[in-house]
Amino acid sequence: MPAYLDTIIAAHRAGAAADGRRLDELLEQVDPDAPVRSFRDAITRDAAAHGMAVISEIKRRSPSRGALDLTLDPMTVAHEYEAGGASCLSVLTDVDFFGGSAADLAAARDGCSLPVLRKDFTVSPLDVVDARLMGADAVLLIVAVLTDVELTSLLGLARRCSLTALVEVHDGVELARAIEVGADVIGVNQRDLHTFEVDHQRALLLGGAVPDHVTAVAESGIEGPEDVRRLADAGYQAVLVGELLVRSGDRRTAVAELLGVGA
């Protein structure tokens, strides 16, 4: 199978190495008074109300599945997701592999009142600050592609920038690393990022190992209400759903149907 992750991370690290901007100068551009929507609070609130929160994803394509909806309007899709009851948005900003952009994130955030996660491959401090500057409320940190030093540093920088960090893991070793650095929102991705294949048992097996004080999010491979029910029973407060919703002919209803399970 293609080593998607290796290719993607190599491209992002090369881009970071070639980026000549200085971190201190970029941080000066961050407006500390610019409003930030609380990603974690939105999940906690809606999980308490409905039994599960839905993080609805906006992405145009993926390396494994090809085109999903290349012509989608992020503002319209965000509005549809919010109308269906989504708690947060996840917006792909990777250009080369997922067809996303910072403009997609900005448009999606303008189209709703939901907190927005910048879904991308964060490998440098500049990526974190860029997320804040483009209007994100949360940033993704993937344990599999970061050293412990990088993970600790980027998590601290995210908090300095008033961003929630969704720290993504794929197995028990990565989960232990995320807990050790103090992550308070942890996503268990059921998709193997090397092959992009989905293991539907992964989140179920790891759910009980996530500490009670941590907000637990199950990512990838959610195909319908039954999956949501199983993940809620396993202790998750939120599911991150992309392909199912993007491909749906009625995105508002698709979100509502997922939420109906825990209502």
Phi and psi dihedrals of 190, rounded to 5? -80, -5
d(C-alpha 3, C-alpha 13), whole Å:
16
Residue with tokens 């232990």: 176
Q: Dihedral sign, CA of 10, 186, 169, 245?
A: negative
Say if residue 189 is exposed, middle or buried (CB neighbours under 10 Å; 0-12, 13-18, 19+): buried
3-state secondary structure at position 169: strand
d(C-alpha 169, C-alpha 62), whole Å:
19
- Which tokens go with 166? 């969704």
d(C-alpha 147, C-alpha 143), whole Å:
8
d(C-alpha 263, C-alpha 152), whole Å:
37
CB 141 within 8 A of CB 114: no
Give catalytic residues, as residue numbers. Answer: 57, 59, 119, 168, 189, 219-220
Residues in the chain: 263
Indicate the DSSP class of residue 194. T
